[in-house]
Amino acid sequence: MIDRLEKTVERYNELSRLLSDSSVISNPELFKKYSIEYKELEPIVNLYIKYKKVELEIKGVQELLETEDPELQELSQTELEHLEEEKERILNEIKILLIPKDPYEGKNIIMEIRAGVGGEEAALFAKDLYKMYLGYADKMGWRVEILDSHETDLGGFKEVIFSVSGKDVYKHLKYESGVHRVQRVPETEASGRIHTSTATVAVLPEAEEVDVQINPDDLRIDIFHASGHGGQNVQKVATAIRIIHKPTGIMVTCQDERSQLQNKIKAMRILRARLLDLYEQQKEQEITSTRRAQIGRGNRNERIRTYNFPQGRVTDHRINLSLYNLPEIMEGNLDELVNALMENERAQLLEEYFGKS
């Protein structure tokens, strides 16, 4: 790892020179590229400088231990232990920075929530999950925009698709993909029996046009009348859009907006995100033998979390964490869950790249 750090310092110094070069300064794209790389390397280099400084201090203290003064030896031993702890702390920070970043970490997302097993109760639970993420987004200062939704007669969601934009959205919400299970007495249940229902959540990094190239000839676009609860037409003018990507068979519909153009724009955003997700899954399947075991971008068929209302408990099955503050979590207080999932993934990656400590 030290060799890698030395090469990082060399590259950092090279970038420093390049950013002062007139030919680079006059090339905005190149200057931006080098500036981003320079900023990414800077914290690693600064920590490595601290690390080497502590190593020098350790050598100095070790020399003091060889003196015959018992009091000085005792003080030196205490200082040595402190410096060794500081060295280990800095080394761990460096390791975390050296872990390859998720390429989608800074992306906005498109989230899809669908009612699963449980009929109307599953649809109501899907609505509750949407409200939970809405609350979390509000606390984080993110912006939420509904792209498409299909409500039931009781006000639940058969499906709701929405975008979340802001700082580090994907980084915090990527762990939510999977099957969410609820155990509670449904509003529709007269006898008071506890039912188990599910909803599925998909978290897709939002793709830019440069991320996914779509050939217009590969698309079939249908225009139809938007419909409300029960399937009744709610608009006389056909504004709803259905887009089918013929090579993959992916179909997207949007009908929430009152204009064809706005529905088409939203449908294309969803299509790009789904295509990016599909391509990523195909890539992961190709490198299954070397794929890292991380929680992010999990299997959507995997049951990841249970919300038990009678006990006021939420359990995340991936990390065996149970919290007894379900009402607060349903209001969007997800920090404790998200932080635990982040820490678990970080530990897995540290072990994968650097071995067990």
pLDDT, one tens digit per residue, over 22-58 is 999 999 989 999 998 999 899 999 999 999 999 999 9
Percent of the chain at pLDDT > 70 equals 90
Angle between helices 70-98 and 335-354 in degrees, nearest 10? 100
Place of tokens 């410096």: 83
Q: Is residue 32 part of a domain?
A: yes
Q: Is residue 38 part of a domain?
A: yes
The model's pTM is 0.77
- Kindly state whether residues 224 and 202 are assigned to the same domain: no
C-alpha distance from residue 221 to each of 84, 151, 192, 218, 240 (Å): 65, 24, 47, 10, 10
- Kindly state whether residues 254 and 115 are assigned to the same domain: no
- Kindly state whether residues 131 and 198 are assigned to the same domain: yes
Comparison of pLDDT for 291 and 162, the residue scoring more: 162
- Kindly state whether residues 230 and 193 are assigned to the same domain: no
State which residues form the domain around 269. 216-285
- Distance CA(56)–CA(271), nearest Å, equals 56
- Kindly state whether residues 45 and 120 are assigned to the same domain: no
Could you give the number of structural domains in the chain? 3
- Kindly state whether residues 91 and 237 are assigned to the same domain: no
CATH number of the domain at 45, please: 1.20.58
- Kindly state whether residues 151 and 182 are assigned to the same domain: yes
CATH number of the domain at 196, please: 3.30.70.1660
CATH number of the domain at 220, please: 3.30.160.20
How is residue 207 annotated by DSSP? P
Place of tokens 């702390």: 89
The lowest-confidence range among 46-60, 70-84, 192-206, 229-243 is 229-243
- Kindly state whether residues 195 and 320 are assigned to the same domain: yes
Q: Is residue 14 part of a domain?
A: yes
What's the chain's average pLDDT?
A: 87
- Kindly state whether residues 165 and 304 are assigned to the same domain: yes
291 has a pLDDT exceeding 70: no
- Kindly state whether residues 162 and 48 are assigned to the same domain: no
Q: Is residue 356 part of a domain?
A: no
- Distance CA(226)–CA(82), nearest Å, equals 68
Please, how many CA atoms are within 13 Å of residue 177, restricted to the half-sphere of its CB?
A: 19
> What's the mean pLDDT in 103-121?
91
- Kindly state whether residues 56 and 119 are assigned to the same domain: no
pLDDT for 300 equals 53
Residue burial 207-239, b: 16+ Cβ < 10 Å; e: rest? beeebbebeeeeeeeeeeebeeeeeeeeeeeeb
